[in-house]
Amino acid sequence: MIEPTSPQLATAARTFGLLLAPVRLHLVALASCGEYDVGTLAAQVGVSVPTASQHLAKLRLAGLVSARREGRRQFYTVQDPHVIALVEQIFQHVAPDGSLAPDPPRPGSAGFPLPVAERDQSLPSQIHRTYGLGGSVR
């Protein structure tokens, strides 16, 4: 069971708060796929370069994206594997039409077998005895 501390809760809430804006979430999603300059990100998201720059500056201060300068151009990417995993999880859970994807079956529920270590190891023997099957059970 996860028992977050007050500082963890505050930081997580700030982080998710930053991602509430669709433009910021889109910028992070794109930057998690590679390194892009501000102009490219702005065009992909459909905002002006100054607007994208303002959002990226906030995301950078929060540690969600990192930046490097090459001449006059600023490039952004997501380097933190936790952020990449978070973005991937979000979009695996939300279908392209905006609906929520159904939850995967939970371990032990119908359609999702228990891990081998948690299964009843006597079941194959019971089946063999019940149906009079000979031979050893592996």
For residue 53, the one-letter residue type is S
Distance, in Å, from the CA atom of 7 to the CA atom of 3, rounded to the nearest integer, reads 12
Q: How far apart are CA 101 and CA 95, in angstroms?
A: 6
CATH 1.10.10.10 for the 6-93 domain, yes or no: yes
pLDDT at 138: 43
pLDDT digits (tens, 9 = 90+) for 45-76: 999 999 999 999 999 999 999 999 999 999 99
Predicted TM-score (pTM) of the model is 0.71
Rounded to 10 degrees, the C-alpha dihedral 44/45/51/57 comes to: -90
What residue spans in the chain does CATH classification 1.10.10.10 cover? 6-93
The answer to whether 53 and 70 are in contact (CB under 8 A) is no
Place of tokens 């490097």: 68
**Residue 135 falls in which region: left (phi positive, over 0), alpha (psi -120 to 50) or beta:** left
Q: Is 115 helix (H, G, I), strand (E, B) or coil?
A: coil
